[in-house]
Amino acid sequence: MRTLDAGADKPLPFLTDATEANPALGVRAYRTTRRDPEVLDHQLEALAKAEAETEAKVWVMAPMISTAEEAQAFTEKARSYGLKTAGMMIEVPSAAIMADKMFEYADFASIGTNDLTQYVMAADRLLSSLADLSTAWQPAVLRLIKQACDGAAPHGRPVGVCGEAAADPALATVLVGLGVASLSMTARALPDVDAVLKSVDLAECQRLAGLATSSATAEEARQAVRAELPILEELGL
């Protein structure tokens, strides 16, 4: 479960300030606890109650975690309500860069590729005129994903990817090669991603990830990886 990600393109009048000049960089998501901490408290209380009354094992994560202090504060608060597995979203570049410190507290993470790309490339994810910048194939984005996974590995923490980046079968192989443990995508993408991942092993995924991260541009990365996956043509992708 992700706690409330209010703000920016998801405004909530009772929680976010519509007059902020730059809401994507403002008080959104976990940052709303700075002025309305009780909203997070209510969510954690409800999740703990739901877990206690069912057989579910709840994993809870907070969006827009930016510092190790925030990671520590959120995980400690979640555990204070009896939620044993507490993690974070990695959407802010600082979280990926400082992942080794973040995972001293966070039990797991999910990389939000849409927001991470937006912040790495300084390109509004909702602006179609900047669509060429807003792709997770950007080598800078892929390098940060690798850095996040590398920071998690010594702690034995799993890192997943959400957003639709993993719905691209070629990019899915790269993400696995970078160290991502789980992929999220729309149901209609599952058969193609499944077929492509079954055609390679981990070593091949790691090699493809190396091709992508060493490329100079997003399109160069995409073409370099696709050229090594003949199954894509067989699938008509």
Task: Report the CATH number at residue 128.
Answer: 3.20.20.60
Condensed to tens digits (0 to 9), the pLDDT of residues 201-231 reads 999 999 999 999 999 999 999 999 999 999 9
Whether 27 is in a domain gets the answer: no
The C-alpha atoms of residue 228 and residue 214 are separated, in whole angstroms, by: 15
Confidence at residue 7, expressed as pLDDT on a 0 to 100 scale: 64
Whether 214 is in a domain gets the answer: yes
Whether 23 is in a domain gets the answer: no
Condensed to tens digits (0 to 9), the pLDDT of residues 6-17 reads 766 677 777 777
In sequence order, what are the beta bridge partners of 88?
A: 62, 109
Total-model pTM:
0.93
Count of CB atoms within 10 A of residue 92's CB? Answer: 23
The C-alpha atoms of residue 133 and residue 154 are separated, in whole angstroms, by: 32
Q: DSSP letter at 24?
A: G
Confidence at residue 144, expressed as pLDDT on a 0 to 100 scale: 98
Number of domains in the chain: 1
Provide the token pair at 168: 């691209």
Confidence at residue 8, expressed as pLDDT on a 0 to 100 scale: 66
- Could you tell me if 161 and 142 are in contact, meaning their C-beta atoms sit under 8 angstroms apart? no
Whether 92 is in a domain gets the answer: no
Confidence at residue 22, expressed as pLDDT on a 0 to 100 scale: 80
Average pLDDT, the chain: 94
Q: DSSP letter at 4?
A: P
Whether 85 is in a domain gets the answer: no
Query: Could you tell me if residue 12 is left (phi over 0), alpha (psi between -120 and 50 degrees) or otherwise beta?
Result: beta
Task: State which residues form the domain around 215.
Answer: 108-234
The C-alpha atoms of residue 6 and residue 120 are separated, in whole angstroms, by: 21
Whether 200 is in a domain gets the answer: yes
Torsion angle, alpha carbons of 35, 39, 41, 47, to 10: -150
Spell out, as residue ranges, where the chain has pLDDT lower than 70.
7-9
In sequence order, what are the beta bridge partners of 62?
A: 88
